[in-house]
Structure 1
Amino acid sequence: MKILNKNSFTIAAAIILTSVTGCKKLLVEQPRSGLYPDYFSTAGGVQAAVTGVYQDLRGAFSGEGLVYFYDGTDENIPGGSAGTNPPLYNSFKGITASNGPDITGLYIDINTLNGVFQNSALITDPTARTQFVAQAKFLRGFIYFWLVQTYGGVTATQKSGIPLHLTFNTQAASADAPAKLSDIYNAIIQDFTDAATGLPNTITSSNPFSAAGIGKSATAATAKAFLAKAYLTRGYTEAKQSTDFQQAADITAQLITNKATYGLDLWQDYWDEHKPANDYGKENLFAIDYGISDPLYSNYTQQGSGGYGINQLYVLARFNYVGPGVDNVPGVDAVPQKMGGSAGMVRDVYNGRPYVRLAPNKPYTMDVAFADQIHDTRYDATFQTYWICTNPNVSAGLKSDRVTSKGKLIPTTSSIPPAGSPLSAAPGQAAYITPMDGDTAILMPSADVSMARRDAFKGLIVTPKQFNSVIFPTVKKFDDPKRTGILDFSSRPIILMRFSEVYLMNAEANYMLGNIPNAATSLNVIRQRAAYRTTDDANLTAKNQFYVTSATMGAANTANAAAMALTPAQLAQLAIPNNTTTPGTLCGMDLILDEYSREFYGDPRRWYDLVRTQQLVRRNKMYNAVGGPNVQDYHARWPIPQGLINAVLTGPAYPQNNGY
């Protein structure tokens, strides 16, 4: 069987051919296919293989394919511009082997890593050899972990849905079969265990996989965190072992206790976790890189229409702020909301490029997960809820009587075109500038308002009951201030493991063990950190929200931290075992999943959280009005891509996952 390119590859041919022309691309740090086998005989060749795989991960964790991490969950619905496939996955209707996500191309990277192991003895420097092998072990465990979570792990088959390849292949094959789920997890756990032993505790300038001391590659803590997550995930499956949850609890507790050894800690202010300056700070354990000036790991290039390995995360859950007008027309406070008049916004770099692929699922995200926006700062840190006027040519809006003027919006002076000039000719459009003056064109408060309040406001007010797939608070925590054009995508890394997740994994593991006091302790650390606010944060919080001043900050933070501690009622709920079937009865896992939502909303992960905890069906029935009636147990894994099945030409046909 012939390998054409990464997109047409098959599991049967999850190998590296000596004839593959992609070798040249890897040598210039843009891998797409593979390496000549003899290139692994040098330390430079092995490093090129490992950094090449790091680069290649950008293709799996970027672009619009990320929407599959969000749709079909309690947190999100497809946005108004989602296209064809996301609504299918949100409704659990029409999902086929031909329209699903395909990350099986990662098998090419697995084979590259197998080449590292086969040839590692040729590296004469023992320190370098340990580093290279440990990085490759982590990456192979990481890739297999994502593959098995995506395509396998449902009861009744004792199959993983994916094959297991642990040796370097140099010849194409045309037959393959899925491995036992237990064998897959044993390999993942062994790889992470070995990686944790060989990786450094921190990133240093002498680390051969560091970019001048900046965290790019995995550390021992990264491997241990993913090892804990592998144990935690296996503990719910048919391949579980009796010690899995205890292992997860012990490893996460060790990471927390020894956080200083690994250079890890929580920021005092939740907002700080998502500031670009802290992308490689103490709270981020593992990231996929897209850096502008880092050819070794990302070779980032802006591409206005997208392209391979471009970080589109910041555009996915961004509503089109240019469209709404400012008039109070009849029905402006109805559902759906009716809008008219001249728009108060033109697109600029600060407010970004709206793709509208995802929208918050209000009945859960706003009404449950982020219901407390006073004591908990994470809603304000996550969502943009106001837009300052950028259109100097906007007409004055009308009040609800359709006669009286509301007054003309005063635009910001920071990023708008000169009055009377074409909107596309704005000099300020080429820079990311936070607006510090001007009237608010769009405001999304957290409660309903009266028509009198709307009439007194120059711009447009959108209240929660009007949120839908088109108009909604924008996820802002991934914004990239280095963008210089309105069509630019992001150069920031996508964080796939944060230190706060170690606390939540510890809580989850202890909960599953029935150790409620320990679970509560870890939850309270995260919850009470979320109560902290600063005056700097207040500058980016809508004035109708809860914010602090220098005079109120101390008292407010003390009171809010006390309010965020788990209450007796919540502790009682936490003691209720995991309920995976009955939507109407809350359990402790609901509290934990709600905390995952608040802490990581917008991160590419929610589908996996629900699948791991066996809550995909129940939570969709509770909160997803479209998908709840259709979701079934087999939806806890995606269908094997049809191209892969078709490419298995000899031996037994490659089996499709049950239900598809």
Structure 2
Amino acid sequence: MPTTKYLLLFLVLTVAATGCNEEEFLEERPLSFFNPDNSFENFDQFESSLYDLYARVRTTHYSEDDFSYAHHYGTDMMKDARLSNSVGRIGDYTSAFNPTSGLVNWHWERWYKIVSSVNFILNQLEASDLTADQVTLIQAESRLFRGLAYRYLVYLYGDVPLYLDAISSPRTDFTRAPRADVLAQIIDDLSFARDNLPGITEVPDGRLHALVAQQLLAETYITTGQNDLAIAAATAVIDDPATALMTERFGITAGVDSFDVYYDLFRKGSQNRSGGNTEAIWVAQIETDIPGGLLTSTGGISGNRFERFHAPAVFTLNDPDGNSGMLSWVGDLNGGGRGVSFMQPTDWFENDLWASDFDNDIRNANHNYRRTIMYNDPSSAFFGQSAIEFPGTVIQSSDWRFYPWLTKVTTPMNHPPALYADPSIFLLTANAGATYTDQYYMRLAETYLLRAEAHLAAGNAQAAADDINVVRGRAQATPVEAGDVTLDYILDERARELSLEEQRRITLHRTGKLVERVRLYNDHNGDEIQDYNALWPIPLREIEANTTGNLPQNDGY
């Protein structure tokens, strides 16, 4: 022990005598884990940070949470089928949209996390070893994500904090930038992306490219009243030699004569350019049982819950004798899959919207907008007969058990094999309920309708009608006359064409039509929506945490 003690003392005195650079000695150099200093050293690492942004956008739109689908519920098109007080399903506007609402916080937080991540990525570029071309490419892709995030924030909340620098320590001094300044920054970010991203044919499925920026620019220019620029941006997408509306049958259902090209657009494998789809502009990549793919066939419904939320719970239907009329969950066009009847069409979207072309518009065909239901339980005396044709049945007393539903939300007769309890009759397990296809963020039909909106705002109703009629022509619907084109007509056409694809609430906020159209067309929320719901409230926790800044609440809240 004494020998050891003196040896230690010698070592200490030796170190003290020779001295050291304490700052260098104490500097941490992580070798076995990543931190901000060693995570952005090469192009592949920056690419990985971009992949995280793709994942964030995808889960914001298609997570397992009700909140992902709030831009569909409580609009002119969809309502809470169970008439509940659910915040996520916009059971009532007061509960859903108040400063302490989890829904309001959820969207604010997710889009600002994307802004923060982009700012951090851009900041790290300064010290990287990337080439000039690589830096520009990372900047372009990142800034498109930032423009997209601020697009959602400005339309939902109005004036919002606008910051473009990385934040490395807590801040309490945020202020609300004027809406015009936020829109100007969106245009600046999108313009940089447009000028520096590759073309649509140069990227793999799901990757951002210049035409995505052009389409978002067209929409933003409409908002800022720059209609000529909006027309030019939309035209760049429409006239690109690699884009065209799909007018011929394609994909796995191309040989089924009873279907049509609109049905083909939403079948598995048909959403991407690699599947022959020239109409796709930007598509969320969703895979099953692949790491990072979002969905699983064995562990419950982990995302993209459109089938579960929108398809009706037909398995609950009894026949007129009071016996079971339906098998549990049948994944065909009659059974609708694993639906639970949460997201029901409004009466307007179910009936009035289609009145003039009810029988010829293919988007309203029974295989696209399912309006029939046949008893499918062989033990029922009514097997094979229509459940709608018996007055006084459970459908009439509880209409949420069956309502017309959009077949684009499911994969009829093509669910993942592991989800079939009995594949011979397409009987599903309880783990079904997702929509097992990629999802459109943007497709060319919307581009035509955006350009029509810009033409109308510029005073050229004939050009607007011409663009609308390209979309209606593919749908075999009656052409619209120039004198009948209004902003409301364009919103109607968007509802027919882009149902459950566009984030409907964002469109209505953007055009200033949310309150008006919910009052007119939503038979559940129409009596309760208030004028101040034209914007969402600023989350109270953000206001309270911002002790040295200025985040005033939106009027009415």
Is 1:257–2:242 an aligned residue pair?
Answer: no
- The corresponding residue for 1:147 is 153
Structure 1 residues 628 and 348: alpha-carbon distance in aligned structure 2, compared to 1, 3 A threshold: closer
- The corresponding residue for 2:324 is 342
Give the counterpart of 2:338 among 345, 353, 365.
Answer: 353
Is 1:103–2:93 an aligned residue pair?
Answer: no
- The corresponding residue for 1:134 is 140
User: Does the 8 Å CA contact 1:266/1:499 hold for their aligned counterparts?
Assistant: no
Which residue identity is paired with 1:325?
A: N
Q: Equivalents in 2 of 1:68, 1:479: separation in Å?
A: 19
Give, in angstroms, the shift of residue 132 of structure 1: 2.1
Q: Equivalents in 1 of 2:278, 2:89: separation in Å?
A: 37
- Measured against aligned partners, the alpha-carbon deviations of 1:566-588 in whole angstroms (never above 9, x if no partner) come to 2xxx43232xxxxxxxxxxxxx1
Give the counterpart of 1:616 among 496, 514, 525.
Answer: 514
Is 1:391–2:377 an aligned residue pair?
Answer: yes
Q: Equivalents in 2 of 1:46, 1:93: separation in Å?
A: 41
- The corresponding residue for 1:400 is none
- The corresponding residue for 1:565 is 479
Which residue identity is paired with 2:537?
A: P
Secondary structure of the residue aligned to 2:357 is coil
Is 1:116–2:118 an aligned residue pair?
Answer: no
Q: Which has the larger radius of gyration?
A: 2
User: Does the 8 Å CA contact 1:345/1:441 hold for their aligned counterparts?
Assistant: no
Give, in angstroms, the shift of residue 384 of structure 1: 2.5
- Measured against aligned partners, the alpha-carbon deviations of 1:582-639 in whole angstroms (never above 9, x if no partner) come to xxxxxx1221111011001122522222222222222223222443333333211112
Alignment of 1:193-342 (within 5 A): 193-204=191-202, 207=203, 210=204, 215-235=205-225, 244-258=226-240, 260=241, 262-268=242-248, 269-280=261-272, 281-292=277-288, 295=291, 298=293, 300-302=295-297, 304-307=299-302, 310-327=303-320, 340-342=322-324
User: Does the 8 Å CA contact 2:199/2:211 hold for their aligned counterparts?
Assistant: yes
Give the counterpart of 2:447 among 482, 497, 502.
Answer: 502
Structure 1 residues 604 and 81: alpha-carbon distance in aligned structure 2, compared to 1, 3 A threshold: farther
- The corresponding residue for 2:474 is 529
Structure 1 residues 607 and 495: alpha-carbon distance in aligned structure 2, compared to 1, 3 A threshold: same
Give, in angstroms, the shift of residue 496 of structure 1: 1.8
Secondary structure of the residue aligned to 1:359 is strand
Alignment of 1:71-82 (within 5 A): 71-80=73-82
- Measured against aligned partners, the alpha-carbon deviations of 1:53-96 in whole angstroms (never above 9, x if no partner) come to 11112331123213321233221221127552256565557731
Structure 1 gap ranges (5+): 1-18, 28-34, 153-159, 236-243, 330-339, 398-408, 410-438, 444-448, 532-560, 575-587
Give, in angstroms, the shift of residue 514 of structure 1: 1.2
Secondary structure of the residue aligned to 1:111 is helix
Q: Equivalents in 2 of 1:325, 1:612: separation in Å?
A: 43
User: Does the 8 Å CA contact 1:77/1:469 hold for their aligned counterparts?
Assistant: no
User: Does the 8 Å CA contact 2:193/2:213 hold for their aligned counterparts?
Assistant: yes
Structure 1 residues 361 and 498: alpha-carbon distance in aligned structure 2, compared to 1, 3 A threshold: same
Q: Equivalents in 2 of 1:342, 1:89: separation in Å?
A: 29
User: Does the 8 Å CA contact 2:147/2:187 hold for their aligned counterparts?
Assistant: yes
- The corresponding residue for 1:492 is 437
Which residue identity is paired with 2:364?
A: Y
Structure 1 residues 82 and 58: alpha-carbon distance in aligned structure 2, compared to 1, 3 A threshold: farther
Q: Equivalents in 2 of 1:300, 1:125: separation in Å?
A: 37
- Measured against aligned partners, the alpha-carbon deviations of 1:401-449 in whole angstroms (never above 9, x if no partner) come to xxxxxxxx2xxxxxxxxxxxxxxxxxxxxxxxxxxxxx35645xxxxx6
Secondary structure of the residue aligned to 1:275 is coil
- The corresponding residue for 1:31 is none
Structure 1 residues 89 and 251: alpha-carbon distance in aligned structure 2, compared to 1, 3 A threshold: farther
- The corresponding residue for 2:15 is none
Which residue identity is paired with 1:496?
A: Y
Secondary structure of the residue aligned to 2:552 is coil
Q: Equivalents in 2 of 1:149, 1:530: separation in Å?
A: 30
- The corresponding residue for 1:184 is 182
Q: Equivalents in 2 of 1:203, 1:482: separation in Å?
A: 30
Alignment of 1:80-99 (within 5 A): 80=82, 84-85=86-87, 90-91=92-93, 95-99=97-101
Which residue identity is paired with 1:174?
A: T
User: Does the 8 Å CA contact 1:221/1:255 hold for their aligned counterparts?
Assistant: yes
Give, in angstroms, the shift of residue 225 of structure 1: 0.5
User: Does the 8 Å CA contact 2:85/2:95 hold for their aligned counterparts?
Assistant: no
Secondary structure of the residue aligned to 1:285 is strand
Secondary structure of the residue aligned to 2:245 is coil
- Measured against aligned partners, the alpha-carbon deviations of 1:521-551 in whole angstroms (never above 9, x if no partner) come to 00110111101xxxxxxxxxxxxxxxxxxxx
Secondary structure of the residue aligned to 1:169 is coil
Q: Equivalents in 2 of 1:46, 1:319: separation in Å?
A: 44
Q: Equivalents in 2 of 1:145, 1:58: separation in Å?
A: 16
- The corresponding residue for 1:544 is none
Moved more, 90-99 or 489-498: 90-99
Q: Equivalents in 1 of 2:506, 2:371: separation in Å?
A: 28
**RMSD between superposed Cα atoms in Å:** 3.0
Provide the TM-score with structure 1 as the length reference: 0.68
Which residue identity is paired with 2:404?
A: P
- The corresponding residue for 1:5 is none
Structure 1 residues 245 and 632: alpha-carbon distance in aligned structure 2, compared to 1, 3 A threshold: farther
Secondary structure of the residue aligned to 1:326 is coil
Provide the TM-score with structure 2 as the length reference: 0.80
Is 1:657–2:536 an aligned residue pair?
Answer: no
User: Does the 8 Å CA contact 2:464/2:482 hold for their aligned counterparts?
Assistant: no
Q: Equivalents in 2 of 1:82, 1:602: separation in Å?
A: 21
User: Does the 8 Å CA contact 1:71/1:90 hold for their aligned counterparts?
Assistant: no
Q: Equivalents in 1 of 2:82, 2:373: separation in Å?
A: 20
Q: Equivalents in 1 of 2:44, 2:88: separation in Å?
A: 42
- The corresponding residue for 2:404 is 473
Structure 1 residues 341 and 367: alpha-carbon distance in aligned structure 2, compared to 1, 3 A threshold: farther
Give the counterpart of 1:382 among 355, 368, 382.
Answer: 368
Structure 1 residues 130 and 482: alpha-carbon distance in aligned structure 2, compared to 1, 3 A threshold: farther
- Measured against aligned partners, the alpha-carbon deviations of 1:214-258 in whole angstroms (never above 9, x if no partner) come to x111111111001111112333xxxxxxxx122112211232122
- The corresponding residue for 2:166 is 168
User: Does the 8 Å CA contact 2:83/2:91 hold for their aligned counterparts?
Assistant: no
- Going by fraction, where is helix more abundant, 1 or 2? 2
User: Does the 8 Å CA contact 1:177/1:654 hold for their aligned counterparts?
Assistant: yes
Which residue identity is paired with 2:68?
A: L
User: Does the 8 Å CA contact 1:74/1:624 hold for their aligned counterparts?
Assistant: yes
